[in-house]
């Protein structure tokens, strides 16, 4: 299989670099594509799509390879690998950045923070910008500046029939790309609006898990009136062996209240009064330091199984369910993470990302090492915790947090945008060539 118009690298089973190129962040995913097309341009992407269609191969698209469901790689198909597309251009005067689809958030943040600027990005530096953006995008700056898609100014994409388009030229396509995932074309470049972001008051507060029910009830009241400058991310887990965590706390069950405040530190006093912290590591720090702080807890190659739902403001019953299942964690690497939404996120934005009314995104993450004989038990823990939490939610989910789940879960994630998304899908991919994703059926 070859094409004269493809200028990148084609990797097949047995080639040097093939196994490294097929490996993705979630080590539980082990798939062997027939060919990996490492693209260096939009023209390469068009050629790779043409190859897949001519040979009737399943087509997967890889940006950062961070899809927990393993959607970045396929069995016996063709992978359009965008990881070589690393160009970044920052215009500090216009406060914009253009980045290739292979860029990771740590790379983009480093480039924009050189000018004291940032856009809303993920909370792990080795997450790819492409998948996170197309699914909506949540992170430490979201309550002040909205979702990542609310800061997307434009995108270049290659359609399944080989055309290269600027998405903003078709308002309906641009609407759909902002939250509709990888359903409509292969995006090769993104343009973002940037904001002034300097030193942030950030880090974790740790409370003993046995104090969590009381702390979370106080937190609920505080979060309801929190300013947009503050984003908190809760984590119920065993304290990880991070450099900032004293050794005597390693492995202790805790409620971690992660904090990012872009205003004054004095505004954080009520958070410190939620209870008696075992650890207060909130301090002025560079934004890039916050972005990489929790990378060691989610490295490449560990095994991950996620279950997710959205919740309104935390009820007593939801708090009890969170604490109960956090106390039953079966792996020291597993955790339940609760994102505080609201603020600018909750205001109207005309995009296909419709997660605007929820107060929290909850992600139950089972995490274990390769070869762990208790993998099934860890998965069941996550499934059981999700089953307990789901009745307290909206029945909706954030598409980027979905594992390999039934189609109705994707439909629920897209919510009221689904039928409008189907119309755009019919216009740009009527044969559903791009179906190895959280699919919108044409």
- pTM for the model stands at 0.96
**Alpha-carbon separation of residue 310 from 69, 221, 313, 340 (angstroms):** 19, 18, 10, 11
Confirm whether 3 is domain-assigned. no
pLDDT in tens, 83-104: 999 999 999 999 999 999 999 9
According to DSSP, the β-strands at 186-193 and 96-100 are: antiparallel
Residue 264's CB is within 10 A of a number of other CB atoms, namely 9
Task: Report the run of H or E that residue 46 belongs to, with start and end.
Answer: helix 42-54
What pLDDT score was predicted for residue 360? 97
What pLDDT score was predicted for residue 348? 77
Does 143 lie in the same domain as 69?
no
CATH of the domain at 185: 3.30.465.10
What pLDDT score was predicted for residue 4? 64
- First CA to last CA across the chain, in angstroms? 29
Does 109 lie in the same domain as 155?
yes
The mean pLDDT of 154-169, rounded to a whole number, is 96
Does 373 lie in the same domain as 245?
yes
How far apart CA 313 and CA 319 sit, in angstroms, is: 10
pLDDT in tens, 169-218: 999 999 999 999 999 999 999 999 999 999 999 999 999 999 999 999 99
Residues spanned by the domain of 56: 9-81
Domains identified in the chain, total number: 3
Does 341 lie in the same domain as 281?
yes
Last residue of a domain, one of 64, 81, 98: 81
CATH of the domain at 26: 3.30.43.10
Alpha helices (H) along 202-315: 212-224, 269-272, 287-292
Least confident of 85-99, 143-157, 340-354: 340-354
Confirm whether 124 is domain-assigned. yes
Does 26 lie in the same domain as 133?
no
What pLDDT score was predicted for residue 267? 79
Confirm whether 48 is domain-assigned. yes
Does 340 lie in the same domain as 267?
yes
Does 328 lie in the same domain as 263?
yes
The mean pLDDT of 310-331, rounded to a whole number, is 98
Confirm whether 289 is domain-assigned. yes
Q: Residue 270: what are its φ and ψ, rounded to 5°?
A: -60, -30
Does 182 lie in the same domain as 122?
yes
pLDDT in tens, 39-82: 999 999 999 999 999 999 999 999 999 999 999 999 999 999 99
Does 226 lie in the same domain as 320?
yes
pLDDT band, residue 1 (cuts 50/70/90)? low
Confirm whether 407 is domain-assigned. no
Does 25 lie in the same domain as 122?
no
Last residue of a domain, one of 20, 54, 81: 81
Does 121 lie in the same domain as 134?
yes
Confirm whether 435 is domain-assigned. no
Task: Report the run of H or E that residue 235 belongs to, with start and end.
Answer: strand 230-238
Structure tokens that stand for 78 in this block: 């063709």
Confirm whether 128 is domain-assigned. yes
The answer, yes or no, to whether residue 399 has pLDDT greater than 60, is: yes
What pLDDT score was predicted for residue 94? 98
Confirm whether 311 is domain-assigned. yes
CATH of the domain at 354: 3.40.462.20
Least confident of 1-10, 99-108, 194-203, 259-268: 1-10
Structure tokens that stand for 292 in this block: 């990489």
Mean of the per-residue pLDDT values of the chain: 96
What pLDDT score was predicted for residue 47? 97
């Amino acid at each position: 299989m070859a094409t004269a118009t493809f200028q990148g690298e084609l990797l097949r089973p047995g080639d040097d670099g093939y196994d490294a190129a097929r490996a993705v962040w979630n080590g539980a995913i082990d798939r062997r594509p027939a060919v990996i097309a490492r693209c260096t341009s939009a023209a390469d992407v068009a050629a790779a799509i043409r190859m897949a269609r001519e040979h009737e191969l399943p087509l997967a698209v890889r940006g950062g390879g961070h899809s927990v469901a393993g959607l970045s790689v396929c069995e016996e198909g063709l992978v359009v690998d965008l990881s070589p597309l690393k160009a970044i251009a920052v215009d500090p005067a216009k406060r914009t950045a253009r980045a290739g689809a292979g860029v990771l958030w740590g790379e983009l943040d480093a480039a924009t923070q050189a000018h004291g600027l940032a856009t809303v990005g993920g909370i792990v530096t080795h997450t790819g910008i492409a998948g996170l953006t197309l699914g909506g995008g949540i992170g430490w700056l979201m309550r002040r500046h909205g979702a990542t898609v609310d800061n997307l100014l434009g995108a270049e994409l290659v359609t399944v029939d080989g055309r290269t388009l600027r998405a903003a030229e078709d308002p309906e396509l641009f609407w759909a790309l902002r939250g509709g995932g990888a359903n409509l074309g292969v995006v090769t470049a993104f343009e973002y609006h940037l904001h002034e972001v300097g030193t942030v008051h950030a880090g974790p507060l740790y409370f003993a898990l046995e104090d969590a029910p009381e702390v979370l009830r106080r937190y609920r009241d505080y979060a309801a009136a929190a300013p947009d400058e503050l984003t908190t991310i809760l984590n119920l887990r065993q304290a990880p062996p991070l450099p900032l965590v004293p050794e005597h706390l390693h492995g202790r069950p805790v409620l971690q209240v992660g904090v990012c405040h872009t205003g004054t530190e004095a505004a954080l006093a009520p958070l410190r009064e939620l209870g008696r912290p075992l650890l207060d590591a909130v301090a002025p720090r560079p934004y890039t330091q916050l972005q990489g702080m929790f990378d060691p807890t989610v490295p490449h190659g560990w095994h991950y199984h996620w279950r997710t739902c959205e919740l309104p403001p935390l009820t007593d019953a939801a708090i009890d369910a969170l604490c109960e299942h956090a106390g039953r964690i079966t792996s020291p690497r597993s955790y339940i993470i609760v994102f505080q939404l609201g603020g600018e996120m909750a205001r109207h934005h005309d995009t296909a990302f419709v997660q605007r009314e929820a107060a929290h995104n909850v992600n139950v993450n089972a995490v274990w090492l390769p070869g762990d004989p208790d993998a099934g038990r860890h998965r069941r823990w996550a499934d059981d915790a999700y089953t307990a939490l789901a009745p307290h939610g909206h029945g909706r989910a954030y598409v980027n947090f979905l594992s390999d789940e039934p189609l109705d879960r994707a439909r629920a994630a897209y919510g009221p945008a689904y039928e409008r998304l189907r119309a755009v899908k019919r216009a740009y991919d009527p044969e559903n060539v791009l179906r190895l994703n959280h699919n919108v059926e044409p």
